[in-house]
């Protein structure tokens, strides 16, 4: 009995000391509105649902607080969610929010110190060295590579013409794997011809496992996670992915011993190796591998998602499909023709369609940052040090205050006259500020080349309505039931 009393007193003292150290955090949090927080678990009870339902749960909660900041307690962790573009501009422009939230530490198991998970001064240095690689000239040189793989995909899709409804994701995914592996990793293996490799499957499963840990707090402590079957799966995936990347780096080293033949494409892994050799004190061999994997993962999956969603939307909104197809016909002519950098830059309506699909289905539906010092948001609100910041991009992209047709595919949202009256931070498909995406030009090139080929060859029909397309979130925004459509051969009239 005495020992039990002693233990109780000890635990109570620890709890009081913990609460006393955080009294300023509690005091600041009390000034924000928010849903009922229960003892110990806080608002975590709101997210006790299936993984695939979390996106809509966050969307519903953020719509309840459309303007003022709202607080959530996830256990002892304070999260302030901000849905106002004015507030987002201040957050994303301030160095006090340059650090990713601590939850991203779970992703470092896979991505190491790559640009997605890295933070602080070292991240800034690495970004400064890597960003020039992904310039307009690289995207221009990429067109022919992407075109080659898009041609192969179109030939595969020919077998689907007039064959009814099917899920187009696998065909697009394998095309984007092939294009991005050649562009970024220097690999010419064809998933379209040979099927998924062990690396392809391991990387895909890593997204699911990472998200599972993010949303299940009981799996986050290493002591508990290491006792579960997830740990063995993680170790196997890591071994597969890391071994593959190391081999690619060795291939790059061997390739660069010889002068690059005139006309050969110089992939990002080789360009990164040049930068790494010039700055060995900044980019170690291990971090170099982290960056290569991060750049590839940040290109392959998002380009697949965006192309797939855009194909589905064109099938749901035939008037916009026809307008985009007519523009492509005016640029390319009546017969399918390979894309070029100049021709892509003339496709202004297709640009609007891509922007619109990224509005409806942002790759990063929510951004999490860490506040590293007290920050005065405005006269009323003070963001306390050591809290998390949640920016619900998905919600802001569907806010009727900024979008005339928030829940429909409406490319006219991006006409100059419509965009001019809208807050620039109401549209953040690639984030913004010091952590904005450095690969958006390459992403746009990948998507444009693929969609140009698709609309030159096929007409798309999608069953149902956009409202019936149920969405979920893992690392990105996805449909719960796939990207279903049917194809007809396009005949110009």
Return the closest-CA partner of residue 238 out of 303, 189, 293, 283.
293
CA distance 269 to 274: 9
Half-sphere exposure of 380 (CA within 13 A, CB side): 7
List % helix, strand, coil for the chain (3-state, nearest 5). 60, 10, 30
Q: Strands 477-479 and 375-376, how do they pair?
A: unpaired
- From the list 20, 7, 62, 27, the residue with the least C-alpha distance to 367 is 62
Nearest Cα residue to 88 out of 444, 420, 369:
369
Say if CB 328 and CB 193 are below 8 A apart.
no
Round to whole Å and give the CA distance between 396 and 487: 33
Q: Is 313 annotated as a binding residue?
A: no
Range list of β-strands (E), 274-318? none
Written as one string, the DSSP assignment of 447-479 is HHHHHHHHHHHEEEE--S-GGG--EEESSSEEE
Q: Measure Cα distances from 456 to 147, 150, 176, 326, 357 in Å.
A: 13, 12, 18, 9, 19
Instruction: Report the alpha-carbon distance of residue 73 to residue 341 in Å, rounded.
Output: 49
- The token pair at 233 is 């799966």
Contacts of 315 (CB under 8 A, 6+ apart): 321, 460, 461, 462, 485, 486
Residue 436 phi, psi (nearest 5): -65, 155
What is the number of other CB atoms lying within 10 angstroms of the CB of residue 426?
19
Residue numbering of the annotated binding site for heme: 437
Residue numbering of the annotated binding site: 437
């Amino acid at each position: 009995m005495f020992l039990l009393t002693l233990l109780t007193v000890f635990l109570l003292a620890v709890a009081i000391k913990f609460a006393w150290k955080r009294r300023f955090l509690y005091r600041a949090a009390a000034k924000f509105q928010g849903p009922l927080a229960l003892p110990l678990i806080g608002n975590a009870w709101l997210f006790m649902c299936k993984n695939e339902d979390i996106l809509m749960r966050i969307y519903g909660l953020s719509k309840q607080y459309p303007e003022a900041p709202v607080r959530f307690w996830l256990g002892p962790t304070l999260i302030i969610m901000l849905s106002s573009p004015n507030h987002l501009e201040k957050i994303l422009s301030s160095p006090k929010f340059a650090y990713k939230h601590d939850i991203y530490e779970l992703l470092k198991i896979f991505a190491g110190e790559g640009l997605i998970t890295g933070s602080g001064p070292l991240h800034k240095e690495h970004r400064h060295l890597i960003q020039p690689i992904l310039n307009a000239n690289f995207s221009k040189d990429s067109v022919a590579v992407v075109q080659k793989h898009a041609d192969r995909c179109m030939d595969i899709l020919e077998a689907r013409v007039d064959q009814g409804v099917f899920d187009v994701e696998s065909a697009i995914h394998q095309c984007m794997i092939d294009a991005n592996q050649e562009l970024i990793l220097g690999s010419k293996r064809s998933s379209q011809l040979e099927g998924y490799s062990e690396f392809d499957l391991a990387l895909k499963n890593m997204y699911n496992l990472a998200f599972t840990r993010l949303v299940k707090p009981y799996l986050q402590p290493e002591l508990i996670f290491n006792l579960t079957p997830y740990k063995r799966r993680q170790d196997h995936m890591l071994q597969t992915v890391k071994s593959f990347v190391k081999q690619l780096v060795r291939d790059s080293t061997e390739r660069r011993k010889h002068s690059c033949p005139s006309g050969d494409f110089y992939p990002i892994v080789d360009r990164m190796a040049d930068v790494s050799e010039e700055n060995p004190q900044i980019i170690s061999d291990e971090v170099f591998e982290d960056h290569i994997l991060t750049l590839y993962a940040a290109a392959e999956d998002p380009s697949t998602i965006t192309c797939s969603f855009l194909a589905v939307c064109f099938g749901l909104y035939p008037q916009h499909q026809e307008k985009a197809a007519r523009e492509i016909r005016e640029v390319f002519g009546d017969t399918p023709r390979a894309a070029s950098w100049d021709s892509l830059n003339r496709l202004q309506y297709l640009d609007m369609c891509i922007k619109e699909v990224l509005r409806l289905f942002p790759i990063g539906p929510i951004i999490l940052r860490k506040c590293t010092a007290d920050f005065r948001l405005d006269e009323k609100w003070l963001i306390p040090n050591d809290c998390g910041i949640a920016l619900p991009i998905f919600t802001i992209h569907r806010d009727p205050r900024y979008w005339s047709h928030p829940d429909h595919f409406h490319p006219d949202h991006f006409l100059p006259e419509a965009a001019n009256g809208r807050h620039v931070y109401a549209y953040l498909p690639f984030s913004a500020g010091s952590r904005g995406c450095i690969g958006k030009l390459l992403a746009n090139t990948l998507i444009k080349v693929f969609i140009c080929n698709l609309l030159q060859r096929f007409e798309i029909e999608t069953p149902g309505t956009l409202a019936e397309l149920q969405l979920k979130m893992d690392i990105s925004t996805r449909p719960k039931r796939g990207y279903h459509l049917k194809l007809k051969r396009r005949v110009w009239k």
